[in-house]
Amino acid sequence: MKQEEKTNVMRLLSQHKIDYKSHYYVGTGAVNGTEIADVLGEDYDRTFKTLVTVGASREHYVFVVPVSGELDLKKAAAAVGEKNIEMIKAKELLPLTGYVHGGCSPIGMKKQFRTVVDETAADFETFFFSAGKIGYQVEVSVEDLRKIISFDMCDLKKPR
């Protein structure tokens, strides 16, 4: 098997001397969060997706939520003090963040937007999210993520 490359997210974590584990699913055909979790043998509640939104103020926000659930837009808006928010259009993601759909990470965006992580991430010693490229995930602790980006934590998921 060929040596997997390091992504910019992995390089940034290394530069900040943050311990992380990298996980690869290149060539598996996995496209959504639950499929990725299945391929990697990860728990859905411990595997997170990064979602980019825009508020009524036209400010952008990043939400990191488990793949086991959906982002509750009302809770998300309340978390950032907006009247309402909506998901950005897929075509806006790359120019805004530098990431493609399916490979968006809260680390290393072109600009650091206000970020909120679902509070359930703190339930785990480490959690998984995109390493900034399709086929690549990183596993870090909440405490270590705080060393590289600023974020708030609250309940963001729709009730099941």
Q: pLDDT digit string (tens) for 65-98?
A: 999 999 999 999 999 999 999 999 999 999 999 9
Parent domain of 140: 8-154
17 sits in the region (left: phi over 0; alpha: psi -120 to 50; else beta) called left
Whole-model pTM: value is 0.95
Q: Is residue 59 part of a domain?
A: yes
Assign residue 77 the CATH number of its domain.
3.90.960.10
Q: How confident is the model at residue 1 (pLDDT cuts 50, 70, 90)?
A: very low
Give the chain's domain count. 1
Residue 1 lies in a domain: no
What is the amino acid identity at position 102? Answer: G
- 70: tokens are 């959906």
Residue predicted with more confidence, 4 or 126:
126
Q: How many other CB atoms sit within 10 Å of the CB of residue 29?
A: 7
On average, the pLDDT of the chain sits at 94
* Average pLDDT estimate for 4-31: 91
Q: Which pLDDT score, from 0 to 100, does residue 49 have?
A: 97
Rounded distance between C-alpha atoms, residue 152 and residue 116, angstroms = 5
Q: Is residue 80 part of a domain?
A: yes
Determine contact, residues 53/60, Cβ cutoff 8 Å: yes
